[in-house]
Amino acid sequence: MRYALMTEPQQGLSYDEILALARTAEDAGLEAFFRSDHYASFPGESGLPTTDAWATLAGIARETTTIRIGTLVSPVTFRIPGSLAKVIQTVDEMSGGRIEAGFGAGWNEEEHAQLGIPFPHLHERYDMLAEELAILHGLWTDDDGWSFAGEHWQVRGAKRHGELVRAGRRHPHVILGGKGLPRMAALVARFGDEFNLISASPGVISGAYDRIRAACKAFKRDPDELVYSAMTGVLVAETEDDLRTRVADLLTALGQGDADGDEWLAERRQRWIMGTPDEARQRVAVFEREGTQRIMLQDFLPRDLDHVRLMGRVFTA
């Protein structure tokens, strides 16, 4: 099993705090550091300062050395595909080829309204995402002169401006996430290097992966070319008492300090990788049996660096 740290810096984290998280994950032996791409602060207190995902990743690219870094996921509504291709290519170069880029249709209407960013209907956003992925793929892999005529964007006479080859790849590692429903499955089959099942829990994992594999076969692509990953909440501690302390810290961070910690813990144990080290590893084994090759450990206690260090000891020892 492979492990990545998934963070939510829109919880009010400064760049220095995000960098500390990435460096701690690197030192802990986790293979990748992902951050969300959001402009509104949540979960928890609203109105906190937020940062731009790709701007912070550019800094992290120069201040780490081995850990892979990326977004889960960048909404199609935030950036023009052509300029995003340049941003990602630049950050990939700055990192020495360690970028993994996740893309999605976006979902948070409020943060779009706060910044004056158009937020079309979901069907249109999926149309935009299909065009974005086609443009990124074309700009990164096709010859000079490549063109694209879409409804939302058009490209004429593209120039690649240098070969983008990192560790044998012609483009950064592309991740597409979701539940594996038909429209996303088709995009994964056409453009993805990895499918990431969001809010993953045992019992639904293998079915989602089966849908992706079927889409690949329909597209005449080998399903084993893809990485099959899952994103799930993580909360681990050395002892049960320490776990309850972390639950209390987490509920406070989420603005739910008055909630029943025992009830919250009991419900999450059915879905998250949670508990003492042995319990957490047992949960991982369930994910592995259902076909998961990499787990994105979604951490909602981003200032608890000891939690990240413990993940390294639990999952990478």
200/192 Cα distance (integer angstroms): 19
Query: pLDDT by residue (tens digit) across 69-85?
Result: 999 999 999 999 999 99
Query: pLDDT by residue (tens digit) across 176-219?
Result: 999 999 999 999 999 999 999 998 888 899 999 999 999 999 99
Can you give the three-state secondary structure of 208-274, one letter per residue?
HHHHHHHHHHHCCCCHHHCEEEEEEEEEECCCHHHHHHHHHHHHHHCCCCCCCHHHHHHHHCCCCEE
Cα–Cα nearest to 223, from 198, 188, 179, 177? 188
Q: Can you give the residue range of the structural domain that contains 99?
A: 2-316
The DSSP code for 305 is: H
Query: pLDDT by residue (tens digit) across 252-291?
Result: 888 887 777 778 778 888 889 999 999 999 999 999 999 9
107/183 Cα distance (integer angstroms): 16
289/264 Cα distance (integer angstroms): 26
Helix (H, G, I), strand (E, B) or coil at 69: strand
Q: What are phi and psi of 90, to 5 degrees?
A: -65, -50
pTM of the predicted model over 0.85: yes
Using a 10 angstrom Cβ sphere, with 0-12 exposed, 13-18 middle and 19 or more buried, the burial of residue 204 is middle
CA separation (Å) from 77 to 55, 69, 124?
17, 21, 10
The DSSP code for 79 is: S
* Number of domains the chain is built from: 1
Strand duo 99-104 + 173-178: pairing: parallel
Rg for the chain, CA atoms, rounded: 19
Find the CATH number of the domain harbouring 131.
3.20.20.30
What average pLDDT does this structure show over 48-57?
A: 97
184/178 Cα distance (integer angstroms): 7
